[in-house]
Chain A
Amino acid sequence: GNSVTQMEGPVTLSEEAFLTINCTYTATGYPSLFWYVQYPGEGLQLLLKATKADDKGSNKGFEATYRKETTSFHLEKGSVQVSDSAVYFCALTPYSGAGSYQLTFGKGTKLSVIP
């Protein structure tokens, strides 16, 4: 079956530090890959996505590249801010001719950024 493994947290960084959150996946075919972010007390929001190999998703200074050879989709940001403190989820939806688009999530990584 499909699965997503992401680095366990919590992760605590100082403001302006470099962020990497690792994510690897197992899926057949060519899944679409996502990073969702959950701010305290809120629902999930799409942060970025990539739908095919070598695609790079980017948003709000965050980036992730779809690496099919290593089945990875690591999230990076060059300089984090306090406002980036949140829980980050890596997820995939498999290619499916029927298009049910079910999401499989990793367990989430909590990021805390301190001033």
Chain B
Amino acid sequence: NAGVTQTPKFRVLKTGQSMTLLCAQDMNHEYMYWYRQDPGMGLRLIHYSVGEGTTAKGEVPDGYNVSRLKKQNFLLGLESAAPSQTSVYFCASIVGGRRRVSGQETQYFGPGTRLLVL
């Protein structure tokens, strides 16, 4: 198993450009998440998905859109990049499910995408 993978690893954008970050998992997990990590801020949830075709907003959703067309993929889009979106982006997934079962709440993280917006 590759686990959770993210592409690209690093990207430089100019203000106003658009891009899509791809997250893929091969663990058949139901739930997927996008976080951003900024110095001194920890990780903050951008959007998440509890199943194919569903998405929901997290703590800091503004300026981002997401799609979950396939269970194994979760895409994060920036329509018009801003310098404030310079960050490291992490994707995560869990087994998920509506019944709380011990052990299924552990999130597995990808290696991250470093984004610089000039």
Contacts and interface: CB of A to CB of B under 8 A. Distances in A.
Contacts of A114: none
Contact of B105 (A93, A97, A107, A108): A93
Contacts of A17: none
Contacts of A101: 31, 94, 96, 105, 107
Interface string B54-86: 001010000000000000000000000000000
B100 A95 contact: yes
Given A99-B98, A101-B105, A107 B110 contact: no
A44 B91 CA distance: 10
B97 A99 contact: yes
B45 interface: yes
Given A99-B97, A101-B31, A44 B40 contact: no
A21 to B, nearest CB: 14
B43 A102 contact: no
Interface of B: 4, 31, 33, 40-45, 48, 50, 56, 58, 90, 92, 94, 96-100, 102, 105-112
